[in-house]
Structure 1
Amino acid sequence: MKTPMNSPTASLPTLTTDIVPFAIRGERLEVLLARQTTGWGLPGGPVGVDEDLDAAARRQLAEQTGLSDVYLEQLYTFGRPDRNPARRMVAVAYFALIPIASGSAGVPAAGDAARWAAVDEPPPLVLDHGEIVAVARRRLAAKLLYSTIALQLMPERFTLSELQAVHEIILGEPLDKRNFRKRVLAMDRIEATGELARHGGRRPARLYRALHPGQVELIK
């Protein structure tokens, strides 16, 4: 039996996921884009009928960028009726955080299928993907103030100066060194490794690591 065009089920929206993969590259916050038929956009696509949302996002990220086993967090649902002129689409957006040590692992820096772009200077993006990137960036910056989310962007071992630099890049402003270190150490979520980092002729700096790698903890 054919469904009438005025039936509520005649134009059911397509459910998709869109993922914003962030990494610190070249001392700036960048996003990984995937080539689409009409230009550059975020990795993602339709969710299978029997597929979990998180599983769909991870699958699409791996298939389109080669990235797997990275931190992934649900961001927001974008469902404005006119976000796609061709058909009704509702997107559940996520952002992913890629540690500095593996910021380009398995993914070309530029190429036919994927490319990195500065968050502050992205190319024209399809649909409302520019808005999605902006919302994800604001969420990431906000969570720096009450969680350990910045640790998801760090390598296994890092100095406090490197951690501060990541905060400053995301926030877009300098931070007081003494206050930053006092706050970070008071969180009691990182520990010294007992090793030192030596960079050229600069004074050696202590190396730290996350106490609970892979977890984002809220700080009261």
Structure 2
Amino acid sequence: MSDERDFLDSYDPAAYTPVAVTVDVVALTIRHSRLHVLLVERGAHPFAGWWALPGGFVQQESLDAAARRELAEETGLRSGEGLLDRVHLEQLRSYGDPGRDPRMRVVSVAYLAFAPSLPDPQSGGDASGARWVPVDEVGELAFDHAAILADGLDRARAKLEYTPLATAFVGDEFTIGELRAVYAAVWGEELHAGNFHRKVLSVPGFVESTGETSTRGGERGGPKPRLYRAGDARLLHPALLRPTREDGVR
């Protein structure tokens, strides 16, 4: 203990390279049947005027709390309002290459967020603007955010194959057609309705019937589509592979 006290007494923070920790959030939602990502326009240097993922420096809080705070600031939502509490949030990975931020050595912990729908964003913090952008229309981004976004999209597309994550994009009750639209938007591929319906219902615990029908999405004069809710499965077995990986999904 005496050695520890001697070290603390002689410790000089200026002798060490400054390191900061940030969070960046890849927030995805589906708007008008297309997958969108939340972007903010930076209002300060570095990269003033560039579009970037929402994020910022971690304060006296946990990493998860920092990610939720940044997401809340950019969407105008707060915990307790219902929708933000339904956002699926998970750590993506860490990014710490030297030079990724010109100010100092900055390590960013990136998060992936999904929600069934989120309102038009309200820029906060040092952002001068914010908007939902279709992922296939995203241009050049600040810092290394293009790489972070690419990693986030890869994670989201893969997780739809083997987890029930797609149900995070729909409401509490949904039709199989609405669930199929999520897969089509995230994967960027059209899916055969009949095959998809069959495969979803063949996965134990993926969805469960509510016993009710919906007025949404039915064929005129045809039967009303059935309503489902998320089941209790945490992994999908068998997995729902993308069309490019499994012909049977087509």
Distance 1:4 1:184, change over 3 A: closer
State the 1:44 CA deviation: 1.2
- Map 1:105-124 → 2, pairs under 5 A: 107=121, 112-124=128-140
Runs of 4+ in 1 over 4 A off after TM superposition: 1-5
Partner of 2:118: 103
Distance, in Å, in 2 between the alignment partners of 1:200 and 1:179 is 18
- The CA deviation string for residues 157-213 of structure 1, in whole angstroms up to 9 with x for no partner, is 21111111110111122223333222211222312222222347533211111135x
Judge which range, 198-207 or 52-61, deviates more: 198-207
Query: RMSD of aligned C-alpha atoms?
Result: 2.5
Secondary structure of the residue aligned to 2:172 is: coil
Secondary structure of the residue aligned to 1:127 is: coil
> Match for 1:218 among 235, 242, 248?
235
State the 1:112 CA deviation: 4.9
**1:40 matched to 2:54:** no
- The CA deviation string for residues 68-114 of structure 1, in whole angstroms up to 9 with x for no partner, is 31110100101111211232111000011011xx322x7359x9532
Alignment length (residue pairs): 209
> Amino acid of the residue matched to residue 127 of structure 1?
F
Partner of 2:99: 82
Which runs of 5 or more residues in structure 1 are unaligned? none
TM-score, structure 2 as length reference: 0.75
- The CA deviation string for residues 128-172 of structure 1, in whole angstroms up to 9 with x for no partner, is 111111110010000111100111011122111111111011112
- Map 1:6-17 → 2, pairs under 5 A: 7=15, 9=16, 11-17=17-23
Partner of 1:20: 26
Distance, in Å, in 2 between the alignment partners of 1:195 and 1:163 is 16
> Match for 1:52 among 52, 62, 70?
62
> Match for 1:197 among 200, 207, 214?
214
> Amino acid of the residue matched to residue 107 of structure 1?
P
**1:184 matched to 2:203:** no
Distance 1:26 1:192, change over 3 A: same
Distance, in Å, in 2 between the alignment partners of 1:164 and 1:145 is 12
- The CA deviation string for residues 2-56 of structure 1, in whole angstroms up to 9 with x for no partner, is 9597x4x1x23211000011000111100111232212211111112x4211111
Distance, in Å, in 2 between the alignment partners of 1:65 and 1:41 is 15
- Map 1:90-169 → 2, pairs under 5 A: 90-99=107-116, 102-104=117-119, 107=121, 112-169=128-185
Distance 1:94 1:4, change over 3 A: closer
